[in-house]
Amino acid sequence: MPFAFLAFLVSASAVTASLYLSLGLEFKACTLCFYQRAFACGLVAVLASGLFAFREQTARLCLVALPLAIAGLGVAGFQVWLGSTDWPRAEATWYLACPAGLLGYGTVPQQSLAAFALISVLLIGGGLREVAASRQCASALLVALVLGACAAMASIIANPPLQDLKPIPGKPLTTCLPTSR
């Protein structure tokens, strides 16, 4: 199964959707959204060039691209968590309100989380295929996962402080806003 090619298609779709939200609908991406877009753009570049350069080794390409997917997944998961108003943040005094996603399915960060989750599953599937074929790349899969987690943590830690709490405006959101309950 062409795991890397499918991951490329999902990544390219995610980047296209992200750019449409910013350029077409004039949404303003917050810092966490920019990190996710950067990881998605990196995935498109790595997977596109890798599919041409390593046509016979696409399973290895999955291992190379996996840290970017895991990093994007981690940042998207963190942003969705910040926007949660129930468990585990039911007692929080604020949350991150984000705009509705394309076609009204969830929020933009929730759609990003779904895209990165699908990409990660595809790349892990391809990476496991390589591990099974070579019997030598299990450590490479582990390193890819750890590097991705470290990149996610670094992005989250380096994220600038959120702006002051603001009430949700009466019109639909065009950016993520920290707001009180």
Q: What is the pLDDT of residues 72-106, one digit of tens each?
A: 999 999 999 999 988 888 888 899 999 999 999 99
Helix (H) or strand (E) holding 41: helix 31-53
Give the pLDDT score at 153: 98
Give the pLDDT score at 115: 98
Give the pLDDT score at 1: 55
Q: Phi then psi for 155, rounded to 5 degrees?
A: -65, -40
164 against 26, higher pLDDT: 26
- The DSSP letter of residue 96 is E
pTM of the model: 0.94
**What Rg, from alpha-carbon coordinates, does the chain have?**
17
Length of the chain as a residue count: 181
Q: Phi then psi for 97, rounded to 5 degrees?
A: -85, 125
Q: Which residues sit opposite 179 in a β-bridge? A: 95
Give the pLDDT score at 110: 97
Give the pLDDT score at 12: 98
Report the domain count for the chain.
Answer: 1
Helix (H) or strand (E) holding 5: helix 3-19
- Tokens standing for residue 31: 């810092």
Tell whether the model's pLDDT for residue 135 goes beyond 80: no
Mean pLDDT, rounded, of the chain:
93
82 is in which domain, residue-wise? 3-180
Helix (H) or strand (E) holding 180: strand 177-180
Q: Phi then psi for 70, rounded to 5 degrees?
A: -65, -40
The CA-atom distances, in angstroms, between 154 and each of 94, 157, 176 are: 23, 5, 21
